[in-house]
Amino acid sequence: MKKRPSTLAWTLCLFGVALLLVGYLARPEKVATPGAVAVSGSIGGNFTLTDQDGNTVTNKSWPGKYQLVYFGFTHCPDVCPLGLNKIAEALNKMPKDTAAKIQPIFITVDPERDTAAGLKEYVGLFYPTLVGLTGTPQQIEQVKDQFKVYAQKQGDDEKDYMVNHSSYTYLMSPKGPLLEVYSHDTTAQEMADGIRKWVEEQ
Ligand code: NI
């Protein structure tokens, strides 16, 4: 003999459906920007570093701005200059009021050589509002871990060495969480289009 599902069963079932729906609606919206790369795990977090003017800054030092974060080192022969030029080019391709909502940030993976003064000279070459951040080796290790950045010193010379490093650009929302990651192969146009989707449609 078939038993009719009890009211309790129906209630539980509806509750389950409601939970699924809430989960679906609350999922992070991923914009499929051509050239953007998929990432897993959490990226970013609280950091305290020193900017190119010697000021102590944190991840909360640019309230209301989207942070566009790139890691590298000033002695980098080509990867970093290309990456930073691409960021500048992407910002220049956007309407001015959109670009004004973006804070581009360069974080060194070579704190032993990249002093605040050295960074000041360097970031000025690329974009007027580009900020350069350095810190103690421990501070830099922490922020590298938070962004899952790979960086490895090459060679034994104390002063003349290379640093192999990953070269992703991270778009962080003003409230903190990661929105999108662009790779070295993402073009300036793709990056500009991707950023505009997040900044202009919200
Ligand atoms: Ni580099």
- C-alpha 155 – ligand 1 centre gap (Å): 16
pTM surpassing 0.75? yes
Q: Render pLDDT for 138-156 as a digit per residue (tens, 0 to 9).
A: 999 999 999 999 999 998 8
Q: What DSSP assignment string belongs to the chain?
A: -PPPPPHHHHHHHHHHHHHHHHHHHTSPPPP--TTEE---S------EEEETTS-EEETTSSTTPEEEEEEE-TT-SSHHHHHHHHHHHHHHTS-HHHHTTEEEEEEES-TTT--HHHHHHHHTTT-TT-EEEE--HHHHHHHHHHTT--EEEESS-SSS-EEEE---EEEE-TTS-EEEEE-TTS-HHHHHHHHHHHHH--
- C-alpha 106 – ligand 1 centre gap (Å): 11
- C-alpha 160 – ligand 1 centre gap (Å): 15
Q: Render pLDDT for 87-144 as a digit per residue (tens, 0 to 9).
A: 999 999 999 999 999 999 999 999 999 999 999 999 999 999 999 999 999 999 999 9
- C-alpha 201 – ligand 1 centre gap (Å): 32
- C-alpha 5 – ligand 1 centre gap (Å): 64
